[in-house]
């Protein structure tokens, strides 16, 4: 699994972005929490089963797009998608908690700029308020809900960038590789992505150890 994630690191980062988007554009309205068990508890913070299944569905679609006809039930099991969906949900929530603890915020100006430069809301290269409102209406979203989720997406992006930008490569990392500059750049990019990913995972594990985390994986069947 680790080899696969390294090989497809670029695609996995795209998936993480799609997970965030799934919370926005695949929102299905309020759910009766009495009929929606808690799958992850982080202190008083709770992640419900419907959130988990939305992420799982997006993860399955992501790998189906990569493997196409080769993707079947056996591959789905080998990829351990249920555990990966749990890890993704937990990572996102832990990073959001830590971002708020250290005082990271998204300003109203940053939020406005992000929305106004979202390609889905543009016409002829300019933001269209009509398209914006119509898109939200089609997806049964209120502007307030969308903006809250967009702010959350931007906050996640901020803390991930903060962690990843602290990572650098040394000559020791590259000493075993030789070749032309194009080859070395490809190797450098791959090693940097891998190192950033490991640093992010380590940071998430540190946050996890600081908080009271309970995962109810028995609810997943």
Q: CA 80, 55, 40 angle in degrees (round to 5)?
A: 85
pLDDT exceeds cutoff 50 at 17:
no
pLDDT for the residue numbered 108: 96
Phi, psi of 214 (to 5 degrees): -125, 125
Decide: 163 and 156 in contact? Cβ < 8 Å: no
Q: Is 198 helix (H, G, I), strand (E, B) or coil?
A: helix
Please state the φ and ψ torsions of residue 129, each to the nearest 5 degrees: -65, -35
Residue 6 has pLDDT above 60, yes or no: no
Give 58-113 pLDDT, tens digit per residue. 889 989 999 898 999 899 889 999 999 999 999 999 999 999 999 999 999 999 99
Structure confidence at residue 26 as a pLDDT band (50, 70, 90): very low
Q: What does the pLDDT average to over 30-48?
A: 78
Give the residue with greater pLDDT, 10 vs 129: 129
40 CB neighbour count, 10 Å cutoff: 22
- The pLDDT of residue 35: 65
Which SS3 state, helix, strand or coil, does residue 103 take? coil
Dump pLDDT digits (tens) for 190-205. 888 899 989 998 999 9
Q: Residue 144's domain spans which residues?
A: 2-220
Beta strands 45-48 and 122-123, pairing class: unpaired
Q: How many domains does the chain have?
A: 1
CATH of the domain at 128: 1.10.4030.10
């Amino acid at each position: 699994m680790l080899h696969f994630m390294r090989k497809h690191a670029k695609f996995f980062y795209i998936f993480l972005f799609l997970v965030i988007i799934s919370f926005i554009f695949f929102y299905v309205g309020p759910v009766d929490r009495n009929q929606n068990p808690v799958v992850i508890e982080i202190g008083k913070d709770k992640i419900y089963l419907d959130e988990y299944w939305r992420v799982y569905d997006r993860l399955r679609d992501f790998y189906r797009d990569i493997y196409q006809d080769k993707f079947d039930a056996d591959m789905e099991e080998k990829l351990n998608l249920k555990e990966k969906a749990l890890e993704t949900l937990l990572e996102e929530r832990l990073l959001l908690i830590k971002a708020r603890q250290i005082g990271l915020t998204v300003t109203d100006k940053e939020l406005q700029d992000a929305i106004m430069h979202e390609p889905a809301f543009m016409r002829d290269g300019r933001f269209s308020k009509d398209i914006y409102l119509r898109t939200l209406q089609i997806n049964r979203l209120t502007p307030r809900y969308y903006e809250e989720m967009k702010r959350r997406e931007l906050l996640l992006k901020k803390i991930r960038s903060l962690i990843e930008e602290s990572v650098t490569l040394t000559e020791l990392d590259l000493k075993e590789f030789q070749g032309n500059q194009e080859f070395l750049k490809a190797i450098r990019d791959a090693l940097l992505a891998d190192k950033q990913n490991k640093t992010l995972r380590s940071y998430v594990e540190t946050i996890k150890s600081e908080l009271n985390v309970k995962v109810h994986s028995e609810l997943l069947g």
